[in-house]
Chains A and B, each alone.
Chain A
């Protein structure tokens, strides 16, 4: 009975990634009751957390009474498969995971780590949020962001192009530019 129910079950996974950093504030926020409630309200069914070097370990939850499941791991050589199978990504502000997610066209909430000393990372997230490519949050405001977010309002990101740099270098060095 349960098996059959599971098969029909359309899962909507939220993938949370902190990269190689230690970002306990984000893991804690995702593990909080407030955020889980908002995610459930939005129809998400599973949370998978890549927790990096953090020391806060979220409590694993397996599916019982229709509640949100929670699972975690520390590192993976590539997060591409997790990004592909997720319906929503909540990420730290590193440019690597931001663009990997945007290029897959997945909805993204970037959470800025306010504990970092040189916090230039928020620049990128703020700029991309202004251009409506992603949502921007702080650990304390994550539940508000989830509650208020409208995925329809996101503007798809057009992947960049390395050719202009190479053309300028070629022109400078006197190499022919096709």
Chain B
């Protein structure tokens, strides 16, 4: 009896592992290639603090609003200013839209996420908070089902991108990840940027300084946003 089950596990395990590996490779292969054909894509926009938010909103400002819609804004739970600024921008868009065409655009949503690590928090306690942040990110990914994720550097974007990747692996949805490194990074990528670059999680990664692009050749140089 035991021998039988041993034999089965000997066979089944390698097959399972091979399937998982194949799935990971398949997802990584399609990451970086356009595969969504749709008029508009559910867009998750991850906001950071101060400078990060200013850069992100300058991008949102010139996005084709009917294509990147509806839009979901996520910011750290400790950050009230960023979502407020995004709200102001979205409200001005609604006004413009109503004036020009008289039809209402799909309302944007604003959400908060637990931060995996506060500035100055010890590494030991941050293991626990990272797990909570990860669970929260999975929940947000489940409710938003983003098809596009645009992020630019706050630590909060990593759990969100990882959970989007898990959803891709499980075949629960597909999201294209665009990462814009902050203008403050001149010589090295931030930890978030480096993780997304090394783990091949981002479909495209943009940098604002030419010397960064030379250092990370898969990145795209887009010049200054600010």
Contacts and interface: CB of A to CB of B under 8 A. Distances in A.
A and B together in one complex: yes
A123 B63 CA distance: 29
A95 interface: yes
B185 A94 contact: no
Chain B's interface: helix, strand, loop or mixed, by majority? loop
A169 B178 contact: yes
B59 interface: yes
B186 A127 contact: yes
B214 interface: no
A168 B51 contact: no
B222 A168 contact: yes
B223 A161 contact: yes
B223 A127 contact: no
A173 B187 CA distance: 29
Given A19-B50, A165-B180, A174-B34, A160 B225 contact: yes
Given A173-B36, A174-B37, A165 B225 contact: yes
Nearest to A166: B62
B64 A175 contact: yes
B215 interface: no
Contacts of A169: 148, 150, 178, 204
A161 B225 contact: yes
Interface string B13-52: 0000000000000000000001011000100000001110
- State which size class the interface on A falls in: 20 to 34
Interface in A140-178: 159-166, 168-170, 172-175
Interface string B178-211: 1010111111101000000000000110101100
Nearest to A121: B184
Contacts of A175: 64, 67
A170 B148 CA distance: 11
**Shortest 10 CB-CB distances between A and B: which pairs?**
A160-B224, A95-B51, A99-B226, A123-B186, A164-B222, A96-B51, A96-B50, A95-B184, A162-B58, A127-B186
Given A166-B62, A174-B34, 17 more contacts: A20-B49, A94-B50, A94-B51, A95-B50, A96-B51, A96-B54, A99-B183, A121-B184, A123-B184, A123-B188, A165-B225, A166-B59, A166-B64, A168-B206, A173-B34, A173-B36, A175-B67
27 contacts: A19-B50, A20-B49, A20-B50, A95-B54, A95-B183, A96-B54, A123-B187, A124-B183, A124-B186, A127-B186, A160-B226, A161-B223, A162-B225, A163-B62, A164-B222, A165-B59, A165-B222, A168-B204, A170-B67, A172-B34, A172-B176, A173-B36, A173-B41, A173-B67, A173-B176, A174-B34, A175-B67
Interface of A: 19-20, 94-96, 99, 103, 120-121, 123-124, 126-127, 159-166, 168-170, 172-175
